[in-house]
Amino acid sequence: MKVVVANDHGATALAKKIVNHLKERGFEVNYLGTDTEDSVDYPDYAYKACSEYLKGGYEFGVLCCGTGIGISMAANKMHGIFCALPQNSYAAEKTKEHNHSNFIAFGGRIDYPEDPLHILDAYIDAVPLQDEKYLRRIKKTVEIEETQKLG
């Protein structure tokens, strides 16, 4: 099982923890982030990770920046990427179950109410539901994206 991980300078320590945790859980990690705190642009890292993911063979991706907001927004501009920014384990579980998110984002400068690794575990361990109402909603979201692309 492969995972792609990328981060900007605002989340180097958190990204390192995430990469180590994923490896401990048995994932092969393709790390594409920066390992320094020298300023870089989060859209570049979102693009790099999402492009790699879209080549195929990955279970999911993890993105990190200072807040998680910018990098998740950049990722969601890419066709086929559904990046969530959950604030706790419950939201992480539900984004996979209900929204079929293929990326999860975190903020390296955020004080989470629980350990971000627990949030990541909740996402990993969740099973996507095949309930028709959730699949219908995902289809509508994709249709909006397609309409805007053509419009």
Q: What is the pLDDT of residues 88-124, one digit of tens each?
A: 999 999 999 998 899 999 999 999 999 999 999 999 9
Domains delineated in the chain? 2-150 (3.40.1400.10)
**One of 64, 98, 100, 118 is an active-site residue; which one?**
98
Q: Residue 22's pLDDT band (boundaries 50, 70, 90)? A: very high
Active-site annotation holds for 98? yes
Look at 35 and 100; give whichever has higher pLDDT: 35
Beta strands in 2-125 (DSSP E): 2-7, 28-31, 60-65, 83-84, 103-107
In angstroms, the CA 66 to CA 25 distance is 25
Q: What is the mean pLDDT of residues 130-138?
A: 77
pLDDT digit string, tens, across residues 53-77:
999 999 999 999 999 999 999 999 9
Q: How confident is the model at residue 45 (pLDDT cuts 50, 70, 90)?
A: very high
- In the chain, the percentage of residues whose pLDDT exceeds 90 is 80
Active site residue 65: yes
Catalytic residue among 9, 21, 50, 65: 65
